[in-house]
Homo-oligomer: A and B are copies of this chain.
Amino acid sequence: MKRFNDLSDLSTEEIESLLKLASRLEHEPEPRALEGKVLSLLFLSPSLRTLASFQAAMSRLGGSSFVISPEMSIHGLEARPGIVMDGAAAEHIREAVPVIASYGDVIGIRAFAERRDLEYDLADQEFENLASLVNVPLINMESAIQHPCQSLADWKTMNDLDIPSQGGRFVLSWAYHPKALPLAVPSATVRMAAQRGMDVVVLRPPGFELPEKIMQDASRLASENGGSVIETADRREAMEDANIIYAKSWSSTSNYGDHTGDQDLRENLVDWCVDEPWFESARKDCRFMHCLPVRRGVVVTDQILDGPRSIVIQEANNRMKAQMAVLHRLLKG
């Protein structure tokens, strides 16, 4: 493994093997496994969980990391090719990224979508531009449409709780949020649940359909792994016998990059706040998942987050454990 970018680059067996490694490292710590090894963490977009969990993961294996983040006085990095740099940016990614990468044995990069052009974002062009400048093992820490570390942690969380793969029902639900958010998490999540062989329902209001390319990928993964994928706007139908509801807000795809159009659609959807009545037709033990950060009382009620359905803290904690396995695999083989 030289690149951890798209979870579906790995076979289901390889994923389960990574999670077995995660479990081994938890129960039989290897505090010197990555002695003298360095992880470069390049954040072009903000982070809290990813920042903390990667540093902790590397430390627990005896390695260490350094962080380059957008808060630093790095004057902004220019990314456009062929530009005359007489403005604010003092450095181009063509220098900064290879140099930062060369200080480490592995690099993690985060770069959110620009959310101007859907095709550009679906091609993950911004991340690929950065990735092409790196010649050490690479971890995608969230790009326009990928978030494999989150997906691996989510898969692990469902395994830990014995949520069935084949036959398990996974509802990915849009939720209200005052701002238009990136597509990375829903795009990664629908494919993850499909690859896990689950019966996946994407529940979303009109205007928030997931991009066709993402749905096609998810359908292919489902059919290869004994699952299924459907989309609906009908909450009750979606939640029928659900094992999991995974809530997330995302941008309107019918008005992608159009701030006003997105807001107009969104403002009538404040009732898309996950609450106990949503679970009426679900399995009694249906669990609530979210990648965090989550806005209480907006995306989901306090009652759900503070109640027994919520497994969001375990999910976030599994980020560290899953990433330990990824780092170990990338650096130790």
Contacts and interface: CB of A to CB of B under 8 A. Distances in A.
Contacts of A214: none
29 contacts: A32-B35, A38-B59, A40-B52, A46-B72, A46-B73, A46-B74, A48-B91, A48-B96, A51-B66, A51-B72, A52-B68, A52-B100, A52-B103, A53-B103, A55-B66, A71-B73, A82-B297, A85-B295, A86-B297, A86-B298, A90-B295, A92-B294, A92-B296, A94-B296, A95-B313, A99-B313, A102-B316, A102-B320, A103-B317
Contacts of A96: 48, 293
Contact of A320 (B71, B103, B305): B103
Interface residues of A, number: 66
A274 to B, nearest CB: 14
A313 B48 contact: no
Interface string A95-124: 110111011100000000000000000000
A211 interface: no
Interface in A274-333: 292-298, 302, 305-306, 312-313, 316-317, 320
Interface of A: 29, 31-32, 35-36, 38, 40, 46-49, 51-53, 55-56, 59-64, 66, 68-75, 78, 81-86, 90-92, 94-96, 98-100, 102-104, 178, 292-298, 302, 305-306, 312-313, 316-317, 320
Given A84-B297, A85-B295, A94-B296, 14 more contacts: A35-B62, A36-B59, A48-B96, A49-B99, A51-B68, A51-B72, A53-B103, A82-B302, A83-B296, A92-B294, A94-B306, A99-B292, A99-B313, A103-B317
Given A52-B103, A68-B52, A75 B293 contact: yes
A44 to B, nearest CB: 11
A51 B103 CA distance: 11
B74 A48 contact: yes
A115 to B, nearest CB: 17
Given A53-B103, A73-B46, A294 B98 contact: no
Contacts of A294: 91-92, 95
Contacts of A29: 36
Nearest to A55: B66
A48 B99 CA distance: 10
Given A75-B293, A98-B313, A316-B102, A38 B60 contact: yes
A279 to B, nearest CB: 20
Contacts of A100: 48, 52
Given A40-B52, A64-B64, A103-B52, A85 B31 contact: no
A40 B302 CA distance: 26
Contacts of A95: 292-294, 305, 312-313, 316
Contacts of A51: 66, 68, 72
B36 A85 contact: no
A116 B243 CA distance: 46
Nearest to A306: B94
